[in-house]
């Protein structure tokens, strides 16, 4: 999957506003200004996946000795492996540091702010999915049934999240390089004890499996010597 994403004028204006607000909170005597009016976020992603399933179903007829009444039970064992291999970066995220130090004029300083993220993650999912059904065959040829089954959608990784992740990584890179480039500045990014906890990259990319139970009540009635039939079904999930 190739995803050529770009941040253009409106996005750049929003990001500039975030940078200005962040620098005001630090109290640093400078302003960070993006050097370009566009940032490209190209990325190449490979999402390998494979799966297998085993299914068994049994039906018991004449349940409780009633002719036409049957019960069915099924069980499905589902396995799914999914992963993501990624190489994505930001291009054009450079900035200029505009200093505002009283009685000490300084020319703007150019800072590179590009980022590169590469790596791979994978997960394995196992799920047991049951199914139950009762059916009653009417003497007239029609039938009624009631069933319940568990559905499942596997988890995985969302490559579209990289756009937001790269913007955050770019902002962090800019702040870190900017503070280290200041006269008398340190090498770390501004923060301290109140800095928010960093969420692991895999956790930002992944999403959990989804499960649901579906209930169905339905039947079929035949009329006019089986020349006309009526079929109905009601679902609830």
Report domain extents, the chain: 5-236
Q: Within 13 Å and on the Cβ side, how many CA atoms surround 98? A: 8
Is residue 155 within 8 A of residue 47, CB to CB? The reply is no
Instruction: Say what the pLDDT of residue 191 is.
Output: 43
Chain length of the chain: 237
| C-alpha–C-alpha distance, residues 115 and 201, integer Å | 14
Instruction: Say what the pLDDT of residue 96 is.
Output: 87
Give the tens place of pLDDT for each residue, 111-127. Answer: 887 788 899 999 999 99
| C-alpha–C-alpha distance, residues 78 and 49, integer Å | 14
Instruction: Say what the pLDDT of residue 181 is.
Output: 57
- Using CB atoms within 10 Å of the CB of residue 39, give its burial: 0 to 12 exposed, 13 to 18 middle, 19+ buried: buried
Specify the residue for token string 């200029």.
96
Q: Tabulate helix, strand, coil % of the chain (nearest 5).
A: 20, 50, 30
Is residue 40 within 8 A of residue 4, CB to CB? The reply is yes
Instruction: Say what the pLDDT of residue 183 is.
Output: 52
The parts of the chain modelled with pLDDT lower than 70 are 178-197
Contacts of 48 (CB under 8 A, 6+ apart): 81, 82, 83, 85, 122
Indicate the SS3 state at residue 90.
coil
- Using CB atoms within 10 Å of the CB of residue 236, give its burial: 0 to 12 exposed, 13 to 18 middle, 19+ buried: exposed
């Amino acid at each position: 999957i190739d995803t050529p994403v770009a941040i253009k004028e409106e996005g750049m204006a929003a990001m500039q506003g975030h940078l200005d607000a962040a620098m005001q909170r630090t109290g640093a005597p400078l302003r960070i200004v993006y050097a370009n009016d566009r940032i490209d976020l190209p990325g190449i992603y490979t999402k390998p996946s494979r799966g297998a399933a085993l299914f068994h179903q049994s039906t018991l007829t004449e349940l409780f000795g009633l002719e036409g009444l049957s019960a069915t039970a099924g069980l499905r064992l589902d396995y799914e492996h999914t992963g993501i291999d990624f190489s994505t970066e930001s291009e054009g995220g450079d900035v200029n540091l505009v200093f505002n130090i009283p009685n000490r004029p300084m020319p703007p300083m150019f800072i590179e702010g590009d980022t590169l993220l590469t790596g791979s993650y994978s997960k394995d999912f196992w799920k047991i999915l049951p199914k139950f059904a009762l059916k009653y065959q009417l003497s007239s040829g029609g039938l009624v049934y009631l069933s319940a089954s568990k559905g499942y959608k596997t988890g995985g990784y969302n490559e579209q999240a990289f756009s937001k992740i790269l913007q955050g990584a770019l902002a962090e890179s800019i702040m870190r390089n900017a503070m280290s480039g200041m006269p008398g500045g340190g090498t770390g990014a501004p923060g301290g004890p109140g800095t928010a906890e960093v969420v692991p990259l895999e956790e930002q990319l992944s999403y959990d499996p989804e499960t649901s139970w579906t209930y169905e009540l339905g039947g079929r009635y035949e009329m006019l010597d089986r020349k006309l039939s009526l079929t109905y079904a009601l679902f609830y999930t």
